């Protein structure tokens, strides 16, 4: 990790100072989002704020207070850059250690226990439209837990009917962590063409996850899954 970026991520911000003093969560969303009428309008306002002039939003999770249960209308990755974190999903506690990556589906509700000073949890938010259809079309990648997750997202499968998250525990080797570090560095250093580079790194990250986390069974994509990827690829070329 770039030392300059790591130093930025380690700094205590204003909200964290308040949370540390009061020992309670301080809302981190702007007032105009919180006060914006109907829930649907709030969602649209939040999306416009997060993804304005960018396709992927990256942030460091605030420390010193627990974060209440919440859900989003976009995909979310929680990456433990440093330290540990404890999240609750579907009533189940999940312990995350340094190098672990948690992928949350649209609508997945989760809460996060209090992070300490040395814990750095990075949020990476993106919409499913950012995912390259070529990733779903490659049959060699189909024997993967991530493939099933992404194809369900493209098919519009209700995430409440299946697992709405995937946990990727850190494995020997640094390919995945290296790509995540590159995404974080590009985002915070704000260099030219960073948005395009981050999108490319996200595709690399997904392929690395597919390659390194295969299914434990002999499951293969169904005929309907194969058909939908062909349809999606055809429509994608027409855009």
pLDDT tens column, 173-195? 778 999 999 999 999 999 999 99
Do the beta carbons of residue 120 and residue 81 sit within 8 Å? yes
Q: Which residue bears the tokens 């991520």?
A: 9
Q: Does 102 have pLDDT greater than 60?
A: yes
The three-state DSSP-derived secondary structure of 28-43 is CCCHHHHCCCCHHHHH
- What's the rounded Cα separation, in Å, for the pair 184 and 6? 10
Q: pTM of the prediction?
A: 0.79
Q: What is the pLDDT of residues 141-160, one digit of tens each?
A: 556 667 666 655 544 444 44
Q: Which pLDDT belongs to residue 34?
A: 44
Instruction: Give the pLDDT mean for 85-114.
Output: 92
Structure-model confidence comparison of residues 172 and 121, the more confident one: 121
How far from 168 is each of 127, 137, 221, 226, 239, CA to CA, in Å? Answer: 20, 22, 21, 25, 33
Quick one: 127 exposed, middle or buried, by C-beta within 10 A (0-12, 13-18, 19+)? middle
3-state secondary structure of 84: strand
Looking at every residue in the chain, the average pLDDT score rounds to: 78
CA 24 – CA 114 distance, rounded (Å):
9
């Amino acid at each position: 990790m770039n030392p300059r970026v790591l130093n930025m991520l380690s700094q205590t911000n204003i909200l964290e100072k308040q949370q540390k003093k009061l020992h309670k969560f301080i809302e981190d969303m702007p007032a105009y989002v919180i006060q914006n009428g109907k829930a649907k309008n709030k969602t649209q306002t939040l999306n416009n704020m997060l993804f304005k002039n960018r396709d992927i939003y990256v942030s460091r999770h605030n420390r010193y207070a627990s974060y209440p249960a919440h859900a989003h209308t976009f995909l979310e990755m929680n990456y433990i850059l440093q330290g540990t974190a404890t999240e609750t999903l579907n009533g189940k506690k999940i312990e995350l250690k340094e190098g672990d990556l948690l992928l949350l589906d649209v609508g997945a509700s989760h809460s996060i226990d209090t992070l300490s000073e040395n814990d750095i949890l990075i949020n990476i938010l993106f919409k499913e439209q950012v995912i390259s259809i070529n990733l779903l079309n490659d049959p060699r990648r189909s024997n993967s837990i991530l493939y099933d997750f992404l194809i369900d997202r493209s098919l519009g499968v209700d995430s409440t009917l299946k697992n709405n998250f995937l946990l990727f525990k850190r494995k020997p080797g640094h390919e995945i962590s290296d790509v995540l570090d590159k995404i974080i560095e590009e985002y915070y250093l704000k260099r030219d063409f960073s948005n395009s580079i981050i999108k490319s790194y996200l595709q690399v990250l997904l392929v690395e996850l597919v390659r390194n986390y295969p299914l434990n069974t002999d499951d293969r994509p169904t005929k309907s899954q194969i058909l939908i990827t062909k349809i999606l690829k055809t429509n994608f070329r027409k855009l």
